[in-house]
Copies of this chain bind each other. A is one copy, B any other.
Amino acid sequence: MNDLFLRVCRGEAVERPPVWLMRQAGRYLPEYRAIRSGVSFLELCKSSELAAKVSLQPIDILGVDAAIVFADILIVPDAMGVELRFEKGDGPSFPTPIRNRDDIARLRHPDVEATLGYVFSTLRVLRAELDGRVPLIGFAGSPWTLAAYVVEGGVSTAFPRLLAWSYEDPSAVVTLLERLADTTIDYLRGQVEAGAQALQIFDTWGGLLSAERWRSLALPSMQRILESIPAGVPRILYLRNGGHLLEVLADLPVEVLSVDWRVPLDEVRRSCSSVPVLQGNLDPCTLLAPIEVIERETARVLEQGSGGGHIVNLGHGILPQTPVEHAKAFVRFAQGGGSRLVAKPADAALPNH
């Protein structure tokens, strides 16, 4: 029974920081690819048996300190009536995107048990199969991030349609975010009832906004979601590319703030001193380098995170091309007290200039 992760989330002192990896149930694992080869991505999400199986793989293979349910953030708008497709070789797409107030009005506020109950089933299967081995994390996308995809109609690097709309008619965009939040709130409550012991909100694209615009656009629905989560369930907010947003984040009602690799944890700790626990933030590209480099960089993350509660993780999802042995080395090193090693600065090997 390993409850390190939950104890850190509750602000308790622990013997070592727990470790897990964003997207740990994923394509870098041959065992995942074997299951995925027989079904489509959405079939895998919707089969509670298979989804539970791939969620458990990183616990067995890497020995991480937490499980996260296998699902996709984009199933929430799908449940609201914005049909989601994953075409072979392409990313996700929404053939009927949300582009105006009429589109928003057509959004359903669905019964989450009827539309997203398969995730709740996966969670129940997982809690039973984990049997207390490690805690189980549920998750959802932030309204802003979901909106980026449903307005664009698919993936993008800059999501110009949502951004243009947010300049043109910010109150329509806020309405869309609130509608997405309504369903997300039900969905996360359902996840807790089904056994999720902590919840992570992924704000992958909030970093496209300036701090002022994040505050006026993305914050209200985010705040409402965070406040709706039942007391006692730790709330983790992941924000990619948010170095310029630290000031806004400082006041959010979260137990854990998860940041990407660009901002050192000790600096985040200073800027967001009201957030008790930080999560992160090894650059996922580090796991492509040799194991001694992974150890050196992990030691640095442990050192930078050592000033308070710390959950070791990557700064973004693990890359599909990551060698499994490298992911294992990261977990093993982080769990084995790497923090007692002296972190060598990365530029130790640099020539003089």
Binding site for B on A (CB under 8 A): 157-158, 160-161, 163-165, 167-171, 174-175, 207-210, 212-213, 216-217, 220, 241, 243-244, 261-264, 283-286, 288-290, 293, 297, 316, 319, 321, 345-347, 349-351, 353
Contacts and interface: CB of A to CB of B under 8 A. Distances in A.
A212 B168 contact: no
Contact of A160 (B169, B170, B243, B285): B285
A160 B346 CA distance: 17
Nearest to A158: B285
Chain A: interface secondary structure?
helix
A347 B210 contact: no
A325 to B, nearest CB: 15
Nearest to A165: B289
Contact of A262 (B208, B263, B289, B349): B208
Contacts of A158: 285, 316, 319
A170 B350 contact: yes
Contacts of A170: 346-347, 349-350
Contacts of A285: 158, 160, 163-164, 167
B293 A167 contact: yes
Contacts of A244: 243-244, 262-263
A30 B59 CA distance: 56
A283 B349 contact: no
A34 B292 CA distance: 54
